[in-house]
Structure 1
Amino acid sequence: MNLVSLYGRVANDMELRYTNSGKAVVQFSIAVRGYNDKSNFIHCQAWEKRAETIANYFHKGSRIGVTGQLVSGRYDKDGQTHYTQDVVVNTLDFVDSKQESQRGNNSGVDDAAERANNQIGNSNGKRDPFENNGGQIDISDDDLPF
């Protein structure tokens, strides 16, 4: 079974790109704690709707959880063969609270959080959709921003 699960912080700014056929793709690294508290930087890539969601709602320093598959590759450059390993993201988890996200990046985070709130049925952008403190919340899959 090829399953990778990571929890860490986004280590770089992301740029959403599109292939010639119009598929969205984003590449980024996640800094995860490793042996002796040293950081490991794991390269990840996400495609289509996941790529758009990650590019819109995460930024350098955001905490993120992802699961995916490890994919190996290789390429030749200047006569040398280079080997790569990337995690292709299948699922993602929002880890930061709204307040933590806003502290981490003031440019556009307020707008992104407000868009996310509006997309889940919040018309005024002020109410926390998770204010039920663990109680059941009525949200359909169509209301989610990803």
Structure 2
Amino acid sequence: MARGYNRIILMGNLARDPEIRYTASKQAVARLTVAVGRSWRDHDDNLQERTDFIPVVVWGNQAENCEKYLHKGRPVLVEGRLQVRSYETKVGERRWITEVVAQSVIFLSGGPRDSQDYKAFTEPVSTIGSLRDEFPDEFPTDISEMEDEGEEADIPF
């Protein structure tokens, strides 16, 4: 079988609060619904708008963080893969589900900024020093320090 590429990137707002459950092996799984809006002009040049509600599944610690820090209306960026699966209902009907299995969920804005949990979640690690402090000759503070005898600097990005 040929190897494929399955990558989804969504940016939208949560349509409802995350729902978290735990598997028999105590692994967290959260279900999110991301509302993604789009607009276009029809053949009569009228603006049309539509919102798609996309189901997302998040596993493990990331699922617990989603439950803790996300709420309805919060903007998120989700990266993951598309999954199609089926199951059988109690009355024997076959049902199909298409969903995004998240590899990462990025919280874009908002949230409980006063809470202690949020501060601990977002504080930078203070033990990592600056490379400029360790190697002052290697990392100039000003772009003009990078220029050699009138030539343009080679900026590494």
- CA RMSD in angstroms comes to 2.2
Q: TM-score, normalised by structure 1?
A: 0.69
Q: TM-score, normalised by structure 2?
A: 0.65
Deviation for aligned residue 1:120: 4.5
Which of structures 1 and 2 has the bigger CA Rg?
A: 2
The Cα offsets for residues 92-138 of structure 1, whole Å up to 9 and x where unpaired, read as 212114xxx3xxxxxxx356x431213445xxxxxxxxxxxxxxxxx
Alpha-carbon distance in structure 2 between the residues aligned to 1:8 and 1:120: 22
> What does residue 33 of structure 1 align with?
37
Length, aligned pairs only:
114
SS at match of 1:20: coil
Q: Which has the higher helix share?
A: 1
Please give the per-residue CA displacement for 1:23-47, whole angstroms capped at 9, x wherever unaligned: 0110111000135420000000100
2:65 corresponds to 1:61? no
1:16 aligns with 2:40: no
SS in 2 for 1:37: strand
Aligned to 1:87: 100
Q: Distance in 1 between matches of 2:121 and 2:109?
A: 18
CA gap of 1:76–1:119, structure 2 versus 1, over 3 A, is closer
Q: Kindly provide the amino acid, as one letter, of the partner of residue 12 in structure 2.
A: G
Secondary structure class of the residue paired with 1:91 = strand
Partner of 1:127: none
Alpha-carbon distance between aligned partners in 2 of 1:59 and 1:53, rounded to the nearest angstrom? 11
List runs of 5+ in structure 1 lacking aligned partners. 102-108, 122-138
The answer to whether the 8 A contact 2:113-2:119 is kept is no
Q: Find the residue that maps to 1:88 and give its secondary structure.
A: strand
CA distance in 2, matches of 1:14, 1:26: 6
- Alignment identity in percent? 28
- Residues 76 and 91 of structure 1: is their aligned pair in 2 closer, same or farther, counting only changes over 3 Å? same
Tell me how far apart the structure 1 counterparts of residues 113 and 121 of structure 2 sit (CA, whole Å).
14
Mapped to 1, the partners of 2:122 and 2:113 lie a distance apart of 16
